[in-house]
């Protein structure tokens, strides 16, 4: 999909400049991808996961408004490495499942 969007932007003589994450008034996080053309800049609504993936691939900044950041939560701890599942299972006790 990224290659298609990159080709589309090239054919339109446009460049992605940034992605902005924002609060969507009680419905979660939304995002806007900004595209620059010779005649100015346009804002294109985009699903947040798609916008973030495109921004990372294109190497453009990702910004978040203060309202979006208020919804931030800590990242959960990583899952145990599947190579270490055996040692994890060895340490599990029945009381761990209460």
Between vectors from CA 54 to CA 30 and to CA 68, what angle results, nearest 5°?
25
Interhelix angle 48-58/2-11, rounded to 10 degrees, is 70
Q: Which H or E element spans position 63?
A: strand 62-64
Q: Which CATH class is domain 2-72?
A: alpha beta
Can you give the pLDDT at residue 73?
85
Q: What pLDDT does 74 receive?
A: 86
Q: What is the pLDDT of residue 91?
A: 80
Q: What is the pLDDT of residues 14-41, one digit of tens each?
A: 999 999 999 998 788 999 999 999 999 9
Give residue-wise pLDDT tens across range 35-78: 999 999 999 999 999 999 999 999 999 999 999 998 888 888 87
pTM of the model: 0.69
Q: Say which residues have a Cβ less than 8 Å from residue 72's Cβ, sequence separation at least 6.
A: none
């Amino acid at each position: 999909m990224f290659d298609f969007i990159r080709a589309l932007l090239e054919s339109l003589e446009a460049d992605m400049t940034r992605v902005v994450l924002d609060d969507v008034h009680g419905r979660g996080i939304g995002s806007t991808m900004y595209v620059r053309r010779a005649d100015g800049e346009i804002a294109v609504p985009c699903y947040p996961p798609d916008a973030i993936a495109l921004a990372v691939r294109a190497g453009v900044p990702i910004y978040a408004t203060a309202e979006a950041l208020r919804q931030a939560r800590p990242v959960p701890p990583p899952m145990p490495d599947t190579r270490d599942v055996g040692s994890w299972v060895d340490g599990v006790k029945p009381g761990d499942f209460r």
